[in-house]
Amino acid sequence: MVKKKVSKKEKENIEELLIHVGLKVAKRGEGALFVVGDIEYKPLVDQNVPTFNVFKNPKLLESLALMDGAVIINESNMMVAYGVMVKSRKTIKNFGTRHSAGVSASVGDNLVVVVSEEDKKVRILRRGKMIMQIDALQKNVEKEVPKAVNLLESVGAGAVGTIGTSILAPTLGIALLPGIVLFGSAYFIGKNISKWGRKY
């Protein structure tokens, strides 16, 4: 099977949608796990909801995210499974099973969005590393999401996440926008932010 080539704009669109849905979930004091890509999983609930395009029904996506387990979305933006268990291959100190499953699912080109009910933060993971954290309690943070996603794709999500997953402290990231922290090599980020900053 030939894998669909996903454009930069398509990546930005799905990241932005999942962050916005994640922020709504976080503000309700709930947690969620979204995986975009191909991953092995085991259903925890009967899969009665038919596959749908997540852009056409974000409210249904939000409802499914509130169930225990992950929501799996394919590269065509179709929700293919919900309430599923993703096997954790790693554990992360000071974080629960949802984050461990998220790190394990963020292999290859998969995009993972983890919503924490404890600290009400939305975390973006790629290639086994956390690359961005968004605080749902920051006033008007939703307005900054498009800029943050654009930056992430402009500098390259894979290149940004150059620190290990065991280092999940905001003090080791760069706060670019209110409530949004980007993780990675300070040298690399600093070099690319100046280019990005000229656009805004």
Q: Which residue type sits at 98?
A: R
Domains of the chain, CATH where assigned: 8-197 (3.40.1700.10)
Q: Is residue 52 classed as helix, strand or coil in its secondary structure?
A: strand
Report whether 33 contacts 101 (CB < 8 A). yes
Q: Please give the biggest Cα pair distance in the chain.
A: 49
Quote the pLDDT of residue 77: 96
Quote the pLDDT of residue 7: 78
Of 157, 189, 180, the closest CA to residue 37 belongs to 157
As a whole number of angstroms, the distance between CA 77 and CA 83 comes to: 17
Quote the pLDDT of residue 96: 74
Quote the pLDDT of residue 120: 94
Of 177, 16, 190, the closest CA to residue 111 belongs to 16
Helix H or strand E segment including 135: strand 129-135
The pTM score is: 0.83
Per-run averaged pLDDT (10 residues), the chain, 200 residues: 68 93 96 95 95 97 95 96 88 75 89 93 88 91 87 59 41 66 56 46
